[in-house]
Amino acid sequence: MAKDDVQEALVNFAEQVYQASEEYGPTHRRTALGYCNMGRLFHYTKDYVTSNSLFRQVVTIWTEFVDPILDEMTAESSVPKIPGMKKETTVWIQGSDKFEAEDSLMYCYYNQKECMRIPGQCFVTALDLANTCYALSVLFYIWKRLQEADKQAAEGLQYLEDKQIHDPVFVKKFNKVMKLATKSAHWEPDIQ
């Protein structure tokens, strides 16, 4: 990519972030796509510090979006269950949000993993990668992609263990997703 093309892309992505921030706010999921695109561009130019900062913002935005959904999905209902009554199906994440969430978080995940492998330098912390794994695990759980949810949660826990990061709140969140995915897998098929 030529230097002029990179600069033009950067201007376009910055404009995308500005417009989305004006309309939805700087921490809205619609703004996350612009941050992700900018992160990808900085990653391409080997500015890993800036790219990871942008990826961290993307992960934070999507985590703040999916965490309340997970809480709502797993909350105990105060309404008694009536035998024979059909359960209403809830669509938790709609159309383009579904694509943008997975696409953005997977870009963050792969780029962060790549940065961790750069010899002699660590631009991404284990906590950054664990956060990304957590966001993906919740997203996959919401979509009933239970094996992927369990795999991402286990991988995130492994990053924390490998770096001897002891964060009981984070470990509890990972264990919750793994337990839910395992429990749900016994009740319904994994939809791929």
For residue range 68-89, what is the model confidence (pLDDT) as tens digits? 999 888 886 555 666 666 666 5
Summarize the confidence of residues 57-73 as an average pLDDT: 92
- Residue 17 confidence (pLDDT) above 70: yes
How much is the mean pLDDT over the chain?
85
- Residue 58 confidence (pLDDT) above 70: yes
Closest CA to 111 of 177, 53, 171, 173: 53
Work out the percent of the chain whose per-residue pLDDT is above 70.
84
What lies within 8 Å, CB to CB, of 57 at 6+ separation is 32, 35
Question: For residue 110, what are its two tokens?
Answer: 């792969």
3-74+97-187: CATH topology is: 1.25.40
| Number of neighbouring beta carbons within 10 Å of residue 174 | 22
Specify the pLDDT at position 123: 76
Greater model confidence, 188 or 148? 148
Specify the pLDDT at position 178: 92
Question: For residue 165, what are its two tokens?
Answer: 């990061």
Return the domain boundaries, the chain.
3-74+97-187
Greater model confidence, 98 or 138? 138
Instruction: With cut-offs at 50, 70 and 90, classify the pLDDT of residue 192.
Output: very low
Q: Where are the alpha helices (DSSP H) in the chain?
A: 3-24, 29-44, 48-74, 95-116, 126-142, 146-162, 168-187
Question: For residue 23, what are its two tokens?
Answer: 């309309």
Greater model confidence, 181 or 90? 181
Work out the percent of the chain whose per-residue pLDDT is above 90.
47
Question: For residue 13, what are its two tokens?
Answer: 């992505």
